[in-house]
Every structure is written in structure tokens, then in C-alpha cells.
Amino acid sequence: MSQTVAFRTTFNPEKLVRPAIHQLPTYTRDGGPEEKPAREIRLDWNESPYPPSPDAVAAITAFAAHNRYPDFDAWTLREAIGRYIGAPASRIVAGAGLDNVLETLIHLLIEPGDRVIISEPTFMVYEWLVRGHDGDSVNVPLTPEFELDAEGILDAIDERTKLVLICNPNNPTGNLFDVKAIERIVAEAPCLVAIDEAYAEFAGASFLPLMERYPNLVILRTMSKFAGFAGMRVGYGVFPDALMPYLLRIMPGFCNVSAVATAAAVASLADDEYNRAVVARIVADRDALADQLRELPGVEPLPSATNFLLVRLPVADAGPVQRELAMRGIYVRHFGNPAFGMGDCLRVSIGTTEENEAFLGELEAILGARERAA
């Protein structure tokens, strides 16, 4: 067979895929034990333990027009979001979850060699999205106390820097950053600054008002956490007016949000009383669990403004504890990268009262057994 014929007939997918993609890890949920436990309590992905508003559930049940496309520009959804946050619908971009909105933002900005500044430990999807678009992810680490290094971030900005990404409250640490540090970055950065406020409803704080003063600020939000929409996939961003003409050129048709998810989201956003009650309950349960964890010898839950806790354990490596919990049907997260300074920590989402009690009981039993064996 000649080289020409071989070239025409040989399919090599590795040559088709962009080189940057070959280097990316796979984003997966931590696997459970080989033998499935009798019960499974998922406290590992920061989902709400409660269903969406009854109004949202009713809207899903009543929806029948699955044969029709939603609004092409998702205007009905964008208007509902605008009413909820007090922002013009014309400055809002929605998406199938916040990851989708982040992807639209990166697609708007990043060419090969462009730089995005992040501060680890933070939401790992940021780095993967940037690298997947052939950009350079520049890490200006958080301080040992998990605070932003505003001076370091500003010093790291150069002519190739397009974006600074800040998660506030931060995931996986759970803390709110210093307001003055964030405002200084927004005020002095010559590039775009995007603040991921996925947990804003639990924190009771937002930098939305700063958008009136600074033309380089983007606010990113999701309905996955506070509204129980993790399975419905509805996220959104509020962008500067000057960027909207460009965003409209690349915004996916229908904003990638289905018609039924739109109906549910509109109904949910109008049911503020229900959503506030759920948030208050989760916050109360979070604080109660933190108090109970402090009663365990050597256990320290860190301050949280989210629907999860980062918990320090009296061990050098919390990985074995995480795996033992999984064997008992309790799934939590462990971030073992030594650079993150969280090797002795577990991240646990706030579940129902019964789920929190199950986690607490199993953790106490595991730590007690380790102490007796030492």
C-alpha cells in the first residue's frame, strides 16, 4: 500500500485532537468502594439536600411543550434572573450550569498563550478550561490562611493577561475573602476580573454593586446550590455592557438551557420565600455540625460562608479517613495536593440532619479507632 493510500485510509484520532487536550485530566467524581455499601450518603459535590421550590416542581410537571425550542436568546430566563438580582437582562448570559457560562467567557477571551490568573486552592475547572483553550493558567496561591494575595495577583498581570478569576466564597476552602483585597484587584487590574459567586446566597454577600463603578467586572452565579438545581443545570453571568455585543456573537443558541429548565428556573426565582428558608436551614445545620465537630478531639472545622465545611483532622493525611468513610457509605472530598495545604482536611457538604448525624457518627468512630490503634 502506498503512503498516499495509507494516509487516506488510516484514521488516527490522536492526531485530530488538539495537543492541549491530551494533557488534561478527566473531571470525574471520586469513585466509591468496589463493594457498594448498603447506604450511600453523598456529601461530596456541594449539592442541596433539598428539592427545588414546589413552584418549580409544579412548573416541571405542567410543562408539555417539549417539542418546541425555548426562546432563542433565553430572554424569559434572563429577565427572571435580572428581577432576582436587580440587574438588566441585557447584561446577563445564561448557560447549562455555571461551567457552561465559564466556558463561554473563556471562549470569548482566550487565544493560545493568553494568561488567566487563579489562586489555588480553588475550583479546579478554571485551570482545565484555560488549558483546554491553549491558554496559560497562572497560579498566585492563597496565603497559608487561605486569603487572597492581592499584591501578588496584581504583580502577576502582564500584557498577555486577559482575566483574573476569583471564587468568593472560595471552593474548597469555604471562606469569604477580604472585601478590600478584592476591590483593590478590580480597581487596579487592566484586565477583566470575574468573581465566581456560586455560594453567594449562603454568604449573604455579593460584589454585584461594584459593577456600577468598575467596567472590568464580571459576576458569575448558579442555581445549583441554593435553589436545588444541580440536576437542571442553570447558571448565569452578569457582564459589562461593553462586552455584550461580542458575547451575543458566541452565546450558544437558547443559552444551552432547555425549555423545561427555563420554566422551572423562572418559577423558582419567583419563590423567594422558599429559597430563603432552605438557605437558612442549611446555614443553621452547617453551624450546628461545625459545633459538633469541634467536640471531637483534634478536629477543627474552618469558618465557612457556603453550604459545606472544610474540616481539619488530627492526622497528617485525611485520604485514608475519606476512603474509610466511603466504605461506610459516606462520600466526602479530600484534596491531597501538598501545595494546597489541605492534606489533613476533608470537605463535607451539608446534608439533611440525618445525613449530617451519620457523617459525624462515622467520623467519630473512625478517628476513635485510629487513636486506639496508635
As a three-state string, the secondary structure of 141-202 is CCCCCCCCCHHHHHHHCCCCEEEEEEECCCCCCCCCCCHHHHHHHHHHCCCEEEEECCCHHH
As a three-state string, the secondary structure of the chain is CCHHHHHHHCCCHHHHCCHHHHCCCCCCCCCCCCCCCCCCEECCCCCCCCCCCHHHHHHHHHCCCCCCCCCCCCHHHHHHHHHHHCCCHHHEEEECCHHHHHHHHHHHHCCCCCEEEECCCCCCHHHHHHHHCCCEEEECCCCCCCCCCHHHHHHHCCCCEEEEEEECCCCCCCCCCCHHHHHHHHHHCCCEEEEECCCHHHHCCCCHHHHHCCCCEEEEEECCCCCCCCCCCCEEEECCHHHHHHHHHHCCHHHHCCHHHHHHHHHHHHCHHHHHHHHHHHHHHHHHHHHHHHCCCCCEECCCCCCEEEEECCCCCCHHHHHHHHHCCEECECCCCHHHCCCCEEEEECCCHHHHHHHHHHHHHHHHHHHHHC
- Tell me the average pLDDT across 169-184: 98
Sketch the domain layout of the chain as residue ranges: 32-50+273-373, 54-270
Q: What is the pLDDT of residue 14?
A: 80
Question: What does the block give as the cell for 140?
Answer: 498566585
Say if strands 217-222 and 235-238 run parallel, antiparallel, or are unpaired. Answer: antiparallel
Q: With contact defined as beta carbons under 8 Å apart, do 216 and 240 qualify? A: yes
Task: Tell me the pLDDT tens digit for each residue of 269-316.
Answer: 999 999 999 999 999 999 999 999 999 999 999 999 999 999 999 999
Confidence of residue 6 (pLDDT cuts 50, 70, 90): low
Q: What is the pLDDT of residue 269?
A: 98
Distance of alpha carbon 110 from alpha carbon 250, whole angstroms:
13
Highest mean pLDDT among 67-71, 133-137, 265-269: 265-269
- For the segment(s) 32-50+273-373, the CATH number from 3.30.230.10, 3.40.190.10, 3.40.50.1100, 3.90.1150.10 is 3.90.1150.10
> Nearest 5 degrees, angle CA 155-CA 161-CA 163?
100
Distance of alpha carbon 127 from alpha carbon 120, whole angstroms:
10
Distance of alpha carbon 318 from alpha carbon 129, whole angstroms:
28
Q: Bridge-partner residues for 41, per DSSP?
A: 330
Q: With contact defined as beta carbons under 8 Å apart, do 70 and 254 qualify? A: yes
Q: Which residue did the predictor score with more confidence, 15 or 230? A: 230
Q: What is the pLDDT of residue 31?
A: 64
- Tell me the average pLDDT across 151-175: 98
Q: Bridge-partner residues for 331, per DSSP?
A: 42
CATH of domain 54-270: 3.40.640.10
Q: Among the listed ranges 4-18, 66-80, 251-265, which one has the minimum average pLDDT value?
A: 4-18
Amino acid at 348: V
Distance of alpha carbon 313 from alpha carbon 244, whole angstroms:
46
Query: One fold for both 32-50+273-373 and 54-270?
Result: no
Model pTM?
0.92
Task: Name which of 356, 337, 334 is nearest 345 in CA terms.
Answer: 334
- Spatial neighbors of 290 by CB under 8 A, at least 6 apart, are 301, 304, 309
Instruction: Please enumerate, as own/partner, the contacts of 246-249 that have beta carbons within 8 Å and a separation of 24 or more.
Output: 246/108, 247/93, 247/104, 247/108, 248/73
Task: Tell me the pLDDT tens digit for each residue of 191-243.
Answer: 999 999 999 999 999 999 999 999 999 999 999 999 999 999 999 999 999 99
